[in-house]
């Protein structure tokens, strides 16, 4: 007796419809015309089924603080850091837990079940990290949350931050961060990367660096991080986030750099909503888009995934937790509008994200894996991207954790009122 059968779900691989049997939180059988009895049945109505979305980069400790105490009026990264330093002074654990939990609910409602959150560790009391460890533990049965010890103000900005980083790792951070372009000098930036990678080696953690998040074409820390990933053997356990300066590199340098990155196995995470919003702020016209070269990297086989970065915080006054929203911006900003390119962008918010988070083979709709899936109100990836489809049903480890009823609109233009159908 199965616990749950999802009937008539449309697979990504070939568009065929199958029944998915779930037992004890795992995929038990995936086949057409499944005849086994089950305690519960869900009719997927030929909706597209996908493994859960992966949020590769978000800051849950800062989420939902936009306007507190003041709004970021210039829209720059640097005013965002100033506004956050004001808000940070008033943090409590309960405050962080409440906001992060709400943001996670938004993401789960949109089909996200794996989240990598950076957490600012420049506060000597590590209030945000302690709170986020509680959130991670309480969510663990249903939502997988990774935490990155992230030094927002720079590792070498104060004598105490290196020790705070190490304490955050000891407390339970899954990955070590850095922000080399925000250190006082180029040399400090290089040193900060060595410290971060050294900590990851010492404690067996992953690495995820805010790397070259600036429009300055002279900001060149990706090459340092890539070399460290190669030389330490950490390779694909290392991720470069943002890398917006790559948007401004000359072709010759970018070409050489990406070949080296392909060799080292470095993962990249772009945050197109926030990159296009924060970057180019010091340009007149033409204004740069500031999104790193995801199209070229994907074509080279480099692993690229996507994140929100910010949700309603000092750096971004929008966001509601939908990875389809993030992917939609990537399609436009990176001009990835070819049919295969759009499929590649969908891959960036699912399988490629799983690779960045180092989830291994437990991710995916395969017999024996944890029964995690999303039924989208769509026929395929392209349809989901175009319509920003609702996640009708979200299942984590065999349990329904979110349901959305898609909106129904009726039009009356002289003839008889009828429902709007967005299919061609
Ligand atoms: Fe970030």
Question: How confident is the model over 233-263, as pLDDT tens digits?
Answer: 999 999 999 999 999 999 999 999 999 999 9
Digit-by-digit pLDDT tens for the chain (424 residues) are: 999 999 999 998 889 999 999 999 999 999 999 999 999 999 999 999 999 999 999 999 999 999 999 999 999 988 998 999 999 999 999 999 999 999 999 999 999 999 999 999 999 999 999 999 999 999 999 999 999 999 999 999 899 999 999 999 999 999 999 999 999 999 999 999 999 999 999 999 999 999 999 999 999 999 999 999 999 999 999 999 999 999 999 999 999 999 999 999 999 999 999 999 999 999 999 999 999 999 999 999 999 999 999 999 999 999 999 999 999 999 999 999 999 999 999 999 999 999 999 999 999 999 999 999 999 999 999 999 999 999 999 999 999 999 999 999 999 998 899 999 888 7
Active site residues: 213
Examine residue 147 and say whether the peptide bond preceding it is cis (omega within 30 degrees of 0): no
At residue 333, the 3 state secondary structure works out as helix
- The residues, any chain, with a CB within 8 Å of residue 218's CB and separated by 6 or more, are 245
- Name the residue among 258, 264, 213 with its Cα closest to residue 237: 264
One DSSP character per residue, 200-266 reads HHHHT-EEEEEE--SS-TT---HHHHHHHHHHHS-GGGEEEEE-GGGGGS-HHHHHHHHHHHHHHT-
Three-class secondary structure of residue 277 per DSSP: helix
Cα of 179 from ligand 1 centre, angstroms: 10
For residue 136, CA distances in Å to 145, 292, 341, 354, 370 come to 6, 30, 34, 18, 18
User: Which tens digit of pLDDT belongs to each residue from 385-421?
Assistant: 999 999 999 999 999 999 999 999 999 998 899 999 8
Distance 47 CA to ligand 1 centre (A): 33
Q: Tell how far the Cα of 301 is from the centroid of ligand 1, in angstroms.
A: 24
* Domains of the chain with bracketed CATH: 2-51+364-403 (2.30.40.10), 53-359 (3.20.20.140)
Helix, strand or coil, per DSSP, at residue 345: helix
**Contact status, residue 352 vs residue 303, Cβ threshold 8 Å:** yes
Distance CA 316, CA 71 (A): 10
Kindly state the tokens that stand for 293: 């070269």
Name, in order, each residue with C-beta under 8 angstroms of 290's C-beta and a sequence gap of 6 or more: 215, 244, 247, 275, 276, 278, 279, 280
Backbone angles phi, psi at 395, to 5 degrees: -120, 130
Q: How far is the CA of 210 from the centre of ligand 1 (A)?
A: 6
DSSP 132-185: HHHHHHHHTTT-EEEEEEE-TT-TTSSTTHHHHHHHHHHHT-SEE---GGGSSS
**Threshold 0.85, pTM exceeds:** yes
* pLDDT for residue 210: 98
32 CA from centroid of ligand 1 (Å) = 43
pLDDT for position 13 = 84
Rounded to the nearest whole angstrom, what is the distance from the C-alpha of residue 394 to the centroid of ligand 1? 26
Is residue 56 within 8 Å of residue 305, measured between CB atoms? yes
């Amino acid at each position: 007796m199965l616990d749950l059968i999802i009937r008539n779900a449309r697979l990504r691989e070939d568009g065929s419809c199958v029944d998915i049997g779930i037992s004890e939180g795992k995929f038990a059988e995936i086949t057409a015309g499944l005849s086994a009895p089950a305690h519960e049945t869900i009719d997927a109505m030929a909706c597209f089924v996908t493994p859960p979305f992966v949020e590769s980069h978000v800051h849950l400790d800062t989420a939902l603080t936009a306007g507190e105490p003041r709004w970021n009026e210039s829209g720059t990264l640097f005013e965002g850091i100033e506004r956050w330093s004001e808000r940070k002074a008033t943090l409590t654990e309960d405050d962080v837990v409440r906001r992060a939990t709400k943001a996670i609910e938004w993401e789960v409602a949109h089909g996200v079940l794996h989240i990598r959150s950076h957490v600012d560790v420049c506060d000597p009391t590590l209030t945000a990290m302690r709170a986020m460890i509680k959130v991670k533990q309480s969510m663990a049965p249903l939502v997988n949350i990774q935490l990155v010890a992230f030094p927002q103000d720079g590792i070498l900005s104060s004598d105490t931050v290196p020790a705070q980083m190490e304490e955050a790792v000891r407390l339970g951070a899954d990955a070590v961060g850095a922000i080399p372009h925000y250190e006082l000098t180029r040399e400090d930036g290089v040193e900060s990367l060595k410290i971060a990678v050294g900590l990851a080696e010492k404690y067996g953690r992953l690495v995820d660096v805010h790397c070259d998040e600036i429009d300055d074409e002279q900001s060149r820390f990706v090459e340092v991080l890539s070399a460290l990933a190669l030389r330490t053997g950490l390779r694909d356990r290392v991720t470069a986030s943002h890398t917006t300066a790559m948007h401004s590199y000359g072709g010759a340098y970018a070409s050489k750099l990406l070949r080296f990155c392909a060799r080292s196995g470095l993962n990249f995470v772009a945050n197109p909503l926030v990159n296009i919003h924060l970057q180019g702020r010091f340009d007149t016209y033409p204004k740069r888009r500031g999104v790193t070269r995801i199209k070229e990297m994907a074509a080279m086989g480099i692993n690229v995934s996507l994140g929100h970065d910010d949700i309603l915080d000092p750096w971004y006054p929008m966001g509601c937790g939908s990875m389809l929203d993030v992917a939609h911006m990537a399609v436009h900003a990176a001009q990835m509008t070819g049919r295969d390119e759009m499929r590649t962008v969908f891959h960036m918010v699912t399988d490629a994200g799983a690779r960045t988070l180092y989830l291994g083979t437990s991710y995916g709709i395969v017999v024996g894996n944890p029964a995690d899936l999303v039924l989208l109100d769509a026929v395929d990836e392209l349809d989901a991207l175009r319509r920003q489809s609702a996640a009708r049903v979200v299942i984590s480890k065999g349990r329904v954790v979110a349901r959305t009823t898609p909106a129904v609109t009726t039009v009356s233009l002289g003839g008889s009122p009828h429902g709007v159908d967005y299919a061609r």
